[in-house]
């Protein structure tokens, strides 16, 4: 049987992220389905690259016929996408998030990315998003039909939980992911019993990490909050096993793989309203307005105070644990789209 071939243009990033995990697992799942995936890692500070990086990417697209391009690259290279499609190459854009919405970029860069992403998405042969929420945004912003390929989830044993309840915040420590709102909410919980871990790479914004530590110390929370840095493998699994509740505070989120990874362990979550994380949560937990520490504290307090609520959220998470898609499901959707 002839193996189908697809070329995958990705950004070379040394920092762990949901987008990188999605891409890695997708490549493995496509390979298991007899798709020959050839990865082409792009260097440079995407999605705000130098012009030379755009030129190199445009030349790369001319070397093969079928492409899947991560949106962190595609959003900044509309001319390369349009030129490749004009030469009868198939270019599918895989949209994990909207770079123009990222507050870590300057206002000028965000305005430019809004224009260039619109042009790239409209020029692409196919657009694939990782959530129905993101698909709705693509239709609203750019008027494109979209293929939705929700992230798969690897099976995991149910979490045991802890006494007192253990709260987990798991993401990159950036302003977009907003760990400060989590700490400020914890400061409003009074004398309730809990422990918390903030887990994720913090080298991207050392100033933010220092501020976070200072904020926790000033609130007298340093003993209750552990800021661990990155954790992977058995170390991360041990943290998951003792977790009772995931708190996800991202200001912008197309899906939130960490939320579905919590569900795979029967762990409910609190997520920000109006983001794709609501879709990932599947109703197993609570919500709050992004950036509103007082609203988050109210939801956390209700959960800590009410054993019945904790049990209902846990039961909902365990129920959804049996209904999560696999990476094979994700790969089938994308293979068909390509």
For 81-109, what is each residue's pLDDT tens digit?
A: 999 999 999 999 999 999 999 888 899 99
**What pTM was computed for the model?**
0.92
Q: What are phi and psi of 32, to 5 degrees?
A: -65, -20
Report the interhelical angle of 132-142 vs 107-123 (nearest 10°): 90
Where in the sequence is the domain holding 131, given as residue range(s)? 4-149
| Among 88, 121, 149, residue at a domain's last position | 149
pLDDT tens, position by position, 249-293: 999 999 999 999 999 999 999 999 999 999 999 999 999 999 999
H or E segment at 195? strand 195-199
End-to-end CA distance of the chain: 18
**Residue in the structure block whose two tokens are 């995936």:** 37
Q: SS3 for 39?
A: strand
Residue 131, sorted as left (phi over 0), alpha (psi -120 to 50) or beta, turns out to be beta
Report the C-alpha gap between 194 and 149 in whole angstroms: 36
The pLDDT > 70 percentage for the chain reads 99
Residue 38 sits in the same domain as residue 108: yes
Rounded to whole angstroms, the Cα distance separating 60 from 75 reads: 16
| Cα gap 285→193, rounded to integer Å | 19
Q: Is residue 332 part of a domain?
A: no
Q: What is the pLDDT of residue 205?
A: 83
Q: Is residue 80 part of a domain?
A: yes
Look at the chain and report how many structural domains it folds into: 2
Q: Is the same domain home to 297 and 221?
A: yes
For residues 114 and 170, membership in a common domain is answered with no
Domain shared by 102 and 215, yes or no: no
């Amino acid at each position: 049987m002839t193996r189908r071939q697809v070329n995958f243009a990705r950004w070379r990033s040394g920092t762990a992220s949901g987008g990188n995990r999605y891409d890695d697992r997708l490549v493995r799942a496509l390979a298991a389905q007899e798709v020959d995936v050839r990865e082409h890692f792009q260097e440079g500070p995407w999605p705000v690259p130098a012009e030379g990086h755009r030129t190199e990417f445009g030349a790369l697209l001319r070397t093969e016929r079928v492409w899947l391009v991560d949106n962190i690259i595609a959003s900044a290279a509309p001319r390369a996408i349009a030129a490749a499609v004009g030469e009868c190459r198939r270019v599918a854009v895989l949209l994990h998030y909207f770079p123009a919405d990222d507050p870590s970029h300057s206002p000028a860069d965000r305005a430019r990315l809004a224009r260039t992403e619109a042009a790239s998405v409209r020029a692409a042969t196919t657009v694939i998003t990782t959530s129905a929420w993101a698909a709705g945004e693509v239709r609203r912003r750019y008027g494109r039909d979209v293929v939705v390929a929700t992230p798969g989830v690897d099976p995991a044993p149910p979490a045991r939980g802890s006494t007192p309840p253990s709260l987990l915040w798991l993401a990159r420590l950036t302003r977009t992911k907003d760990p400060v709102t989590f700490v400020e909410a914890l400061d409003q919980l009074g004398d309730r019993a809990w422990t918390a871990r903030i887990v994720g790479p913090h080298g991207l914004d050392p100033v933010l990490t220092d501020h976070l530590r200072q904020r926790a110390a000033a609130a007298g929370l340093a003993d209750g909050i552990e800021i661990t840095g990155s954790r992977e493998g058995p170390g991360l699994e041990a943290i998951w096993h003792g977790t009772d509740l995931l708190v996800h505070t991202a200001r912008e989120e197309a899906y939130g793989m960490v939320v579905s990874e919590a569900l795979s362990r029967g762990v409910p979550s609190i997520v920000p309203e109006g983001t794709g994380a609501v879709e990932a949560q599947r109703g197993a937990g609570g919500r709050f307005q992004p950036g509103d520490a007082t609203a988050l504290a109210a939801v956390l307090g209700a959960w800590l105070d009410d054993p019945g609520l904790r049990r209902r959220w846990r039961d909902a998470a365990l129920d959804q644990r049996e209904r999560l898609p696999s990476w094979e499901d994700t790969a089938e959707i994308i293979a068909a789209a390509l």
